[in-house]
């Protein structure tokens, strides 16, 4: 149904812009306008204005047509009793709260990616990629490993999501402890 809606919207856009360009092109030539004037009741400049207005309307249609985000990325966990759906953004917010346990981590932006197994939905899993900003220090690598373990443990024990395939920690920025004025 969405595909049909997009196709109809595209066709309306093409017809609208095509008619607008044809009207403007015809209005620019006195001879062509004279041929068209037998069929319409307004002047050449009115036709050019109408063509430009239709073209702008077509552009407005194209620019304002909202592309809906298909439902948020969701982890589906199927069981004998039914399906549980968990929004990956919510898992990310849960993980982001772990920053308080790590004084060297200044900022953390976790991204949770749901991995669907179409053949066996019971094997759906997630990957977690946490991009962090840390204070400079000799133990950055160790802190990242501890953070990886803590993220995995928190998601498994705190949310009951046992199928965590990977936890990647990316240091996006290292902040110097001594800032130059």
**pLDDT tens by residue, the chain, 181 residues:** 566 666 767 777 787 777 778 777 777 877 777 777 766 666 667 767 777 877 777 777 777 666 655 556 888 777 788 878 888 999 999 999 999 999 999 999 999 998 888 787 778 889 999 999 999 988 899 999 999 999 999 999 998 888 899 999 999 999 986 554 4
Shared-domain flag, residues 79 and 25: no
Q: For every residue of 111-179, which 3-state class applies, written as one string?
A: EEEEECCCCCHHHCEEEEEEEEEEECCCCHHHHHHHHHHHHHHHHHHHHCCCCEEEEEEEEEEEECCCC
Q: Check whether residue 78 and residue 158 sit in a common domain.
A: yes
69 domain residue, yes or no: no
Cα–Cα distance measured from residue 125 to residue 88, given in angstroms and rounded to the nearest whole number: 11
CB 55 within 8 A of CB 21: yes
Residues 39 and 79 in one domain: no
151 and 128 assigned to the same domain:
yes
The DSSP call for residue 69 is: P
Domain for residue 96, yes or no? yes
> Do the domain assignments include residue 181?
no
Residue-range definition of the domain harbouring residue 20: 2-64
Q: 133 and 114, same structural domain?
A: yes
Q: Please report whether residue 180 resides in a domain.
A: no
Of 64, 83, 105, the position where a domain reaches its end is: 64
Global pTM value = 0.58
Residue 78, CB-side half-sphere exposure with 13 Å CA sphere: 9
Shared domain check, 99 and 34: no
Q: Are residues 97 and 30 in the same domain?
A: no
């Amino acid at each position: 149904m969405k595909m049909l809606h997009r196709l109809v919207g595209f066709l309306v856009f093409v017809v609208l812009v095509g008619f607008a360009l044809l009207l403007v092109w015809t209005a620019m030539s006195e001879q062509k306008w004279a041929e068209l004037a037998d069929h319409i009741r307004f002047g050449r400049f009115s036709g050019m204005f109408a063509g430009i207005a239709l073209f702008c309307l077509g552009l407005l249609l194209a620019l304002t047509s909202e592309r809906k985000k298909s439902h948020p990325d969701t982890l589906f966990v199927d069981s004998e009793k039914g399906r549980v759906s968990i929004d990956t953004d919510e898992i990310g917010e849960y993980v982001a709260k772990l920053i308080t346990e790590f004084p060297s981590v200044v900022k953390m932006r976790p991204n949770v990616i749901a991995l669907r197994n179409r053949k066996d939905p019971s094997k759906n899993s997630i990957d977690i990629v946490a991009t962090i900003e840390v204070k400079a220090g000799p133990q950055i690598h160790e802190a990242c490993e501890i953070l990886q373990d803590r993220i995995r443990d928190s998601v498994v024990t705190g949310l009951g999501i046992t199928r965590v395939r990977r936890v990647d920690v990316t240091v996006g920025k290292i902040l110097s402890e001594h800032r130059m004025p």
